[in-house]
Amino acid sequence: MARQFFVGGNFKMYLRNGSVKQITDIVEHLNNAKIDSSTEVVIAPPALYLLLTREHLRKEIEVAAQNVFDKPNGAFTGEISVAQLKDSNITWTVLGHSERRTLLQETDDFVASKTKAALDGGINVILCCGETLEQREAGTTVDVVTKQLGAVAKEISDWSKIVVAYEPIWAIGTGKVATTEQAQEVHAAIRGWMSKEVSKDAAEKTRIIYGGSVSEKNCKDLAKEKDIDGFLVGGASLKPAFVDIINSKQ
């Protein structure tokens, strides 16, 4: 069974002055764009604009939070709960992004706990993993990535609501991109790990997408690879060419 192609747009904190207009302009562009109906599309604006985005965005495109907390409620200043996302018709969250792992020191176990909380509460997860340049040069890429995913596997057994996003840290926002061969090699290794450690069924059905300086120029070649099921796009998702990436499988 073919896996549905998946493209996510992570707006991060790129929005500047006039952010409301910028969001509405992006939403209007996506609403009017001709998008491949066989591709699942999810965009992740900053938390402040989740409701605005969901209210005006065409229903075929889903909306993700860039983070969620692992506790249902309480004295957790600045955090957002799974139930709050659910109540706001936000159906996805991005978890384990390398920027949160490195800048905010989020551990594998914390990411796993948040993943479990999201899934238990009915929110789908874009689960990020990836290695540093030093780790790649040391030949430990697969060990690093499977360790990150292994922490999640200890907490959950059903991967049907998870999309795994492989994002080599050295390629995020740098303009560098893993070659199609490098990306495919890691995606295949992740699928092999899942087959062994989770189940063959999960390995076959779980979508593994690539992130790291994806653009309209390189997306079509990457999309041809057997184990690359889509993309998680950063800054490029705010640009009109994001539609070309969405349609890269056509």
Q: Which residues are catalytic?
A: 97, 167
Alpha-carbon span 146 to 86, nearest angstrom: 29
Residue type present at position 221: D
Q: Tokens 């996510």 belong to which residue?
A: 8
| String of DSSP letters for 203-217 | HHHS-EEE-SS--TT
Query: Which of 9, 8, 3, 6 has its CA nearest to residue 238?
Result: 9
Instruction: For 105, list phi and psi in degrees, rounded to 5.
Output: 60, 35
Residue 84 token pair: 């709050």
